Amino acid sequence: MTPLIELSNVRRYYGAGDTEVRALDDVSLTIEDGEFVAIIGQSGSGKSTLMNILGCLDRATGGTYRVRGVDVAELSPDDLAALRRDTFGFVFQRYNLLANASAVENVETPAMYAGLAFSERESRALALLQKLGIGDRASHRPGQMSGGQQQRVSIARALMNDAEVILADEPTGALDSGSSAELLTLLEGLHDEGRTIILITHDHSVAAHADRIIEITDGKIVSDTGAKTTSGEREVYRKDARAPSLVTQVNEAVKMAFRSLRANLFRTSLTLLGVIIGVSAVVAMLAVGQGSAKDVVASIETMGSNLLFVRPGAPGTRMRGSAIATLTMADAAALGELENVIAAVPTRSGRETLRVGSIDYQTSIDGVSADWPQAQKWELTEGAFFTDSDQSSRRSVAVIGATVANNLFPEGGAVGNYVFIGGAPFEIAGVLEPKGATAWGQDRDDVALVPITTGMMRLFGQNYLSSITVAVKDTKKIQETEASAQAIILSRHGTEDFQIRNTASLLESVQETQNTFTVLLGSIAAISLLVGGIGVMNIMLVSVSERTREIGVRMATGARRSDIMVQFNTEALVVGGLGGLIGVLLGLGISLALARFGMSISITPEPAALAFGSALMTGLVFGYLPARKAARLDPVAALASE
Ligand code: ADP
Ligand code: MG
């Protein structure tokens, strides 16, 4: 039968050249199932080195080490992890328990890596603690237990996956004589159950409990009392373990992440703060940006989406429309004849002083045609708009906006009264319904309208138009109408000395400006998120160096590299996710608060999703390097770290 453990000419040298230390020098050794072996030697003789090699925590420099005939030199890191998980159980002089986990959680660790279901894991761990006489300490942390109790927890942990071989390195080294005796009795009991025990000690009275004593000095075996297999068949614990599913693995990792983040609460909160500030900045800034964009768009939309604006001046010229003399009344009339046009309103604008009695008031005067209310969809609150006949007979009538009416007739009763415009009396025919200010803060009610014919004759002294506003019947065909309007004026003028815009194109250019603004706000916020991410990486790196020993313990209990990767990545993800969640809520809160102070905001799910997603990504990206660093640690080096 192949022996359980077979070392032939195993060497382990540290360093090279002058500083070379031969911790193990040509060790050959066979250990069979069910033996109870003590390896004895003075401090520095190579005992721990031997145990690390036996337990696959370390690799030999030379020679071969076979476990049940398999040469461990040919095994992958994951295969070695499987050996540590299922075949070997470690008991260390300094217990090596996870400080943040309770006794029962510590015992469960190896089974977690073996993929045992939670309920079975917990009941087995509790049963083991019970069997070892510390069932009442199950929920205590290592710091709340005596050395002897902690060592029992570590034995329970070693038994969790039903290890065939218990490797105990100076297990009594830190215990008082009473606890030592109890521990040795425990080990003898385990041996009687059929388990293979390899006990390392420098103490002959401890070694005397074993059936076989191997003495090493300076890395060489100097004596061996020989094999004496006493125990019979071992009752094997049949565990129903599979490789853990990703869901279980992540679930465990999340629990573990919360545990270790809680253990460093202050540090965790600072890291979270970075992410929270970044995320809430993104959410709040985008809400403000989108809110103001929506405002502008809304006020453009109230102008009506069925309007075309014709202005004098070639495309690209920046001169003021009123100074360019190209558009005429005849142009407006021609546009009015087009298909799909409700009205083409010629407009000439100017500023004049209006006088009623002793009140002077300056406002803008628009000379327009009688179909202006139809085109603008603007009602009157009093009186009536001037008519076609008023227009053709050039009557001196005016319709005034609400602001003008309030200023000139504070007591009301404007209609039927006279107002002097540019020195000439105009009869007030009506008052427009109030419409409020535009997005640019211009008061739309601060205006007076006169028939364009009268205006040209009496006020403006010009026969050219400032603009023509064309109202379209069917907005779906606005493009076609715009094209025919373009064509007809072009054919009348011979050159393109005018420009036509519609509300849609106006909207487009405004939205472009707004988008730039939003992108700007967004990038500022993104930078703060990046800073938060670097914070996460920094904390995770610190955490890896600080927790090297914990990583070593996890590896000794059978964690694969991927388990360690998942654990550290999950911690970073939890920081990112938690920070993202709090940040989104805070950002929404800030937005709502700003809204209460009168700022217009717009809350949409996209920025929140984007910011939360980036926070998660930040965790993932910035957690990766530290996680990889942790996963690549050498088990024995990690365990040796302070
Ligand atoms: P023991 O457990 O018997 O006290 P060790 O196996 O720990 O002895 O060490 C055996 C020898 O190897 C000692 O001389 C020690 O100094 C040396 N040694 C152990 N680990 C290292 C290491 N990582 N680097 C260099 N030398 C080491
Ligand atoms: Mg040692």
pLDDT tens, 99-149?
888 999 999 999 988 888 888 889 999 999 999 999 999 999 999 999 999
Nearest ligand to the C-alpha of residue 219? 1
Residue 77 Cβ inside 6 Å of ligand 1? The answer reads no
Residue 53 Cβ inside 6 Å of ligand 1? The answer reads no
Residue 637 Cβ inside 6 Å of ligand 1? The answer reads no
CA of 58 to the centre of ligand 1 (A): 12
Q: Which atom of ligand 1 is nearest to the CA of 216?
A: 3
Q: Which atom of ligand 1 is nearest to the CA of 12?
A: 12
Ranges of residues in the chain whose predicted pLDDT is under 50:
321
CA–CA separation, 361 and 369 (whole Å): 24
Query: What residue's CA is closest to ligand 1, atom 27?
Result: 14
Nearest ligand to the C-alpha of residue 220? 1
If you ran DSSP here, which 8-state letter would residue 357 be given?
T
| Burial class of residue 641 in the structure, from the number of CB atoms within 10 Å of its CB (0-12 exposed, 13-18 middle, 19+ buried) | middle
Residue 45 Cβ inside 6 Å of ligand 1? The answer reads yes
| Bridge partners of residue 355, in order along the sequence | 360, 420
Q: How many residues does the chain have?
A: 642
pLDDT value of residue 265:
86
CA–CA separation, 32 and 35 (whole Å): 6
Helix axis angle, 503-546 to 605-631, nearest 10°: 30
Residue 173 Cβ inside 6 Å of ligand 1? The answer reads no
CA of 44 to the centre of ligand 1 (A): 6
pLDDT value of residue 236:
60
| Bridge partners of residue 213, in order along the sequence | 38
Query: What residue's CA is closest to ligand 1, atom 12?
Result: 23
CA of 48 to the centre of ligand 2 (A): 4
CA–CA separation, 296 and 298 (whole Å): 5
Residue 52 Cβ inside 6 Å of ligand 1? The answer reads no
Phi, psi values for residue 551, rounded to 5°: -60, -40
Say if residues 11 and 62 touch (Cβ distance below 8 Å). yes
Residue among 285, 299, 288 nearest 602 (CA): 288
Contacts of 123 (CB under 8 A, 6+ apart): none
CA of 243 to the centre of ligand 1 (A): 35
Residue among 542, 636, 615, 532 nearest 260 (CA): 542
Query: What residue's CA is closest to ligand 1, atom 10?
Result: 46
Domains and CATH numbers, the chain: 5-243 (3.40.50.300), 257-296+509-639 (no CATH), 314-496 (no CATH)
Best of 14, 43, 50, 203 for a ligand 1 pocket test (most atoms within 8 Å of beta carbon): 14
pLDDT value of residue 229:
59
pLDDT value of residue 242:
61
Query: Longest C-alpha distance within the chain, in Å?
Result: 133
Q: Which atom of ligand 1 is nearest to the CA of 636?
A: 23
pLDDT value of residue 282:
84
Contacts of 632 (CB under 8 A, 6+ apart): 561
Nearest ligand to the C-alpha of residue 173? 2
CA–CA separation, 470 and 371 (whole Å): 11
Query: What residue's CA is closest to ligand 1, atom 16?
Result: 44
Residue 444 Cβ inside 6 Å of ligand 1? The answer reads no
Best of 11, 39, 48, 51 for a ligand 1 pocket test (most atoms within 8 Å of beta carbon): 48
pLDDT value of residue 241:
52
| Burial class of residue 43 in the structure, from the number of CB atoms within 10 Å of its CB (0-12 exposed, 13-18 middle, 19+ buried) | exposed
Q: Which atom of ligand 1 is nearest to the CA of 169?
A: 2
Query: What residue's CA is closest to ligand 1, atom 15?
Result: 44
Residue 454 Cβ inside 6 Å of ligand 1? The answer reads no
Residue 14 Cβ inside 6 Å of ligand 1? The answer reads yes
Nearest ligand to the C-alpha of residue 50? 1
Which one-letter amino acid corresponds to residue 543?
Answer: S
Residue 469 Cβ inside 6 Å of ligand 1? The answer reads no
CA–CA separation, 94 and 88 (whole Å): 18
CA of 219 to the centre of ligand 1 (A): 9
Q: Are strands 196-201 and 62-67 parallel, antiparallel or unpaired?
A: unpaired
pLDDT in tens, 478-511: 888 999 999 999 999 888 888 888 877 777 777 7
Nearest ligand to the C-alpha of residue 216? 1
Query: What residue's CA is closest to ligand 1, atom 18?
Result: 23
Query: What residue's CA is closest to ligand 1, atom 20?
Result: 49
Residue 48 Cβ inside 6 Å of ligand 1? The answer reads yes
Contacts of 82 (CB under 8 A, 6+ apart): 558, 560
pLDDT value of residue 441:
67
CA of 245 to the centre of ligand 1 (A): 39
Query: What residue's CA is closest to ligand 1, atom 13?
Result: 44
Query: What residue's CA is closest to ligand 1, atom 17?
Result: 23
Residue 383 Cβ inside 6 Å of ligand 1? The answer reads no
Best of 21, 203, 216, 218 for a ligand 1 pocket test (most atoms within 8 Å of beta carbon): 21
pLDDT in tens, 341-391: 989 999 998 889 999 988 999 999 999 999 999 888 889 998 999 999 999
Q: Are strands 424-432 and 418-421 parallel, antiparallel or unpaired?
A: antiparallel
Residue 46 Cβ inside 6 Å of ligand 1? The answer reads yes
